[in-house]
Chain A
Amino acid sequence: MTQSIRVVRALVRRALNEILRVPGAAIPGVLAPTIFMLGLSSVFGKASALSAYHAVDFRTFIVPVGLLQGAGFTGAATGVNLARDIEQGWFDRLLLAPAPRATLLTGVVASAALRALLPGTFLLIVAFSLGVAVPSLLGLLIAAVLVMGLACAMACFSVTLALRFRTQQAAPLMQIASFVGVLFTTSYAPKPLLQDWLRVVADVNPVTRVLEGVRQGFIGGVTWAHTWPALLSVAGLIAVLGWFAARGLRRYSF
């Protein structure tokens, strides 16, 4: 058991090292959600004059979307990095190590959870300095848990793709999935304002529940009614997508 923890820790450390050693590669991923948040709020900011926003400032409304986008991009990047490791043969070397397969997967996915905090933190610093109200500690904590959870789920998804296609060319597929997952929700507007088709999609999309869970602390108080569906959704996503990733790894090795 302690051996497994050591392996996971080593893999996580390697993933984090990349950020420090190749900061140029990490910067776009860190900045993108913030740019997106600033851009969307300066373009569509006046939309919050519509009554369904209940006088919540559009920027405040969109900050949680940026946090989840950071998680989504990080998850996608995890898959792209794995695809690169596969292309370069490093992953095969990893598989030769006498560590359990589940450990390898956990290491890769856990690193995504930690890395997702980076774009999120940057985004919050910018948002707070622009006057977005700071939520309660509980609200921030729940947001952090959900962001890390979604990053894990998206990492599982893109790892599955990486194990299947084994090339970095699958990167757009991973990125588009994280884009769709996060935006086809109540990202831009409260549910009553959505067109019918998008309302249906948002209802089905579990990320909507996760988003509402992150958003509650920013636009009002934290309630159990918004929290448990969010936690349940993210746990469900990790379970399902994690199963696919594990299956992908089993098929890869044989």
Chain B
Amino acid sequence: MAAIEVSGLEREYRDGLKAVDGIDLEVQPGEVYGFLGPNGAGKTTTVRMLVTLLRPTGGRATVAGYDVATEPQQVRRKIGVALQEAALDLLMTGRELIELQATLHGIPPREVAGRAQDLIGRVGLSDAQERRVGTYSGGMRRRLDLAMALIHAPEVLFLDEPTTGLDPTSRATLWDEVRRLKEDGTTVFLTTQYLEEADQLADRVGIINAGRIVAEGTPQALKAEVGLPHLDLTFDGDVDLVRAQEVLAGFGEVRADTPAGADLSIGVQEGSSAIAPVIRALDEAGMVVGRVELVEPTLDDVFAARTGSHLEGAGASTADVVAAAV
């Protein structure tokens, strides 16, 4: 049985606008599923339907084997939710809030305090637990939010843009926690607008745009679809490019019309490990490489290939520049 199973899910607003327009997806138990898309693509609307906060207007979805529309109570017993705005009560202290959450999830009274302490410690808020949440920083609030979502060790955890607006340190802490949850066998459904986050954490990625899923698969497979990694080479001094092409022919497909203005571009299956042999071969043939750049496709390239536009915050391709110290 899949942990999350969605078919033809729709949410139409009164004005006829479809925020979610018939999506299908399946998440296996223990999988981390990254739901990637720009602002307004329908990520949050989808999550709100899956966590029973919003009724679907069409299609069907089950979470942990229960239908979100007809068995919402059962769904709520199985899931943990950390919503985008870190919905917390600013007047309560961290400890009070997490103990309330424990009661709401039916933790027996004698276990409440102990479990709360466990989780507070796990997200590093022990020193701040007696302070009101209103005094917490953004990162602390997100961590508390995550701890609350985990109070009943849920089978399926929903994280809606957990790191939007966070500093790099807080982001790293949250990422570590997600990896740990995966080891525990928790299914994680994570929405994000950050490529790197999906790339780093997700076993599989679904890309949503304008309410529809435009691509789905492992990050590697998706990126492979838009093309191989390639090396852009720029030579020092006058070099016979025809000869150079002959030297490189054994490594992969060579092109002289490079978009980035390099002299040659060569497709390499193995990525960075191809750099040294390529440069050595050219060197032996007496050609000095002044600059080499490994260009790898990103999920943004996948998004661009499918929709014609770019994700917010993503530049063009991320290029790893390797200075030719040969």
Tell whether any CB of A sits under 8 Å from a CB of B in the complex.
Answer: no
